[in-house]
Amino acid sequence: MQEDPVMMVNKAGNTPLHEAVKHRWNKLALRLLEKEPTCAHTPNNEMQTPLHMAAREGLADVVAKILEQPWVPGHDEFNAASSGTALHQAVLGGHTKVVETLLAKKKPQLMIDQKDSNGNTALHFAAQKNDAHMVRTLLKHKEDLAHGRNNAEQSALHVAANYGSTKAAKELLRHCPDAAEMLDKEDRNALHIAVISGKVDALKCLLQHVRPAEVVNRRDNFGDTPLHLAAKRSRIKSALMLLKDRRVDPCLLNEAGQSARSIVEERVADGEMDTYLVYLWKELKKSEASRCKNQKLPLVATYQSLRSRRATSGNDEYFELSVETYTLVATLIATVTFAATFTMPGGYNQTSGTAIHADRAAFKIFVVSNTVAMCSSIVVVFCFIWAWRDPVKFKLDQLKWGHRLTVVACLAMIVSLMTSVYLTVLPSARWPAYLVIAIGACTPAVVVLILGKEVIYVPL
């Protein structure tokens, strides 16, 4: 008996319906379903059915057509694919309409709490993708889905913290605030995971939306709080953010009897020291001094002992490169602005020797901005000349000001450019002058758009 062409498979195990869905041929897929509805549940070599693939591709009409047909799955058939069910695939693709179609049918093979081979529910996938709308849709159908755990005992909030999914985390906490108290197999909550993964935005989000101090200071299997982990893993920004939160207790000791400050000092003794870690040590030491009075803590090392044990590190190489870059940029700005002083826009009056445009407002703006650029860059050059005397102290106290003054000098140079063009070009050609001014005005906005608020900070 000849095999039905609709059910024939290629080397990948794909039927014609698989291929139609794979290439998003919507009309062809619908016609094949009319011919043979049962082929919608035929798995290929990767154990994916056309329903899986249609859900992933967002083919809502095809999914709806497949679900119209009655079907009772075999044992674990809907869980055979390592990528999970069709619902997992729809969530992964971000196809809300397909998800709502699947959930509306309420068939046994589409149960909302089904897991993939790693134990992840569809909500775990939504948290990973930072899809707040998808999280809201899933929790609307089953709110306690937020308490589901994967094979690592992680909830969806753990996954959101690991991937830095702040929108998903907010939505999860809004529906299930107690999700912040859930622990994985190492007794770590979402704050621990955010610190370990280095997702500062996720940590900030959690600190803003989690209230109990017990959660913020929760100890894991080793007695480490999120602050301990930040110190162990050199998560400088995370540690500083935790220290700013008054709920975070810097006096707590882990099972080894260490505070976050003593962990940093131990790393120094092991030769893992870099200057940014010194900055963290100073802040931890300061925090302990103000909040841990009359408490028994490990002995505090002195700054000189830390410095004597300091070893060369990757961050020191980064620092050396930063010093050279800042010095070069500042020198170039100083040179250019100094030259501009003697080549005033429009030139000089041959009789009086004064600038031709001296009485115009734009000229006055040019003079002030040019002076700001030159003086700021000179300050940066002199500061970085002395950087080599004590790189540690310079990094902690003066590097950020050198960075900010360089930013000020660059902004002042842009203003000088715009006013200079305005004075010299505008009288004879308006549109080039206005175009240059527009480009100059947009330059800072483009930089901020690319770098965000980090543009005013030296990366730690």
Taking only the tens place, the pLDDT of each residue in 13-40 is: 888 888 888 888 889 888 888 888 778 8
pLDDT value, residue 71 = 62
Range from 73-82, 336-345, 395-404 carrying the lowest mean pLDDT = 73-82
Is residue 28 packed enough to be buried (19+ CB in 10 Å), middle (13-18) or exposed (0-12)? middle
Q: How confident is the model at residue 319 (pLDDT cuts 50, 70, 90)?
A: low
Query: Is the model's pLDDT at 314 over the cut of 60?
Result: no
Most confident listed range (81-95, 302-316, 410-424): 410-424
pTM over 0.85: no
Q: How confident is the model at residue 187 (pLDDT cuts 50, 70, 90)?
A: very high
- Give φ, ψ of 378 to 5 degrees: -65, -40
Provide the total of helices (H) and of strands (E) in the chain, helices listed first.
23, 0
Query: Is the model's pLDDT at 245 over the cut of 90?
Result: yes
Q: Of all residues in the chain, what percent carry a pLDDT higher than 70?
A: 83
- Output the CA angle 132-138-141, nearest 5 degrees: 140
Long-range contacts of 7-16 (CB under 8 A, 24+ apart): 7/36, 7/39, 7/42, 9/42, 9/44, 12/44, 12/45, 12/46, 13/43, 13/44, 13/45, 13/46, 14/44, 15/39, 15/42, 15/44, 15/50
- Give φ, ψ of 348 to 5 degrees: -115, 155
Tokens of 264: 């940093």
348 beta partners: 355
Residue indicated by tokens 């070599």: 45
Query: H-type helices in 198-259, by residue range?
Result: 200-209, 213-216, 226-232, 236-244
Tell which wins on pLDDT, 394 or 114: 114
pLDDT digits (tens, 9 = 90+) for 91-120: 988 898 989 888 887 655 567 888 888 899
Interacting residues of 21 by C-beta distance below 8 A, sequence separation 6+: 29, 50, 53, 54, 57, 59, 62
Q: How confident is the model at residue 1 (pLDDT cuts 50, 70, 90)?
A: very low
C-beta of residue 139 within 8 angstroms of C-beta of residue 146: yes
Q: What is the mean pLDDT of the chain?
A: 83
C-beta of residue 231 within 8 angstroms of C-beta of residue 268: no
pLDDT value, residue 310 = 52
Q: In angstroms, rounded to a whole number, what is the distance separating the alpha carbons of residues 151 and 170?
A: 23
Query: H-type helices in 386-455, by residue range?
Result: 391-397, 399-425, 430-451
3 state SS of 182: coil
Q: How confident is the model at residue 388 (pLDDT cuts 50, 70, 90)?
A: low
pLDDT (average), residues 349-365: 79
Query: Is the model's pLDDT at 273 over the cut of 80?
Result: no
Query: Is the model's pLDDT at 177 over the cut of 90?
Result: yes
- Give φ, ψ of 279 to 5 degrees: -60, -45
pLDDT (average), residues 290-308: 72
188 beta partners: none
Q: In angstroms, rounded to a whole number, what is the distance separating the alpha carbons of residues 193 and 202?
A: 9
Indicate the length of the chain as a whole number: 460
pLDDT (average), residues 115-130: 92
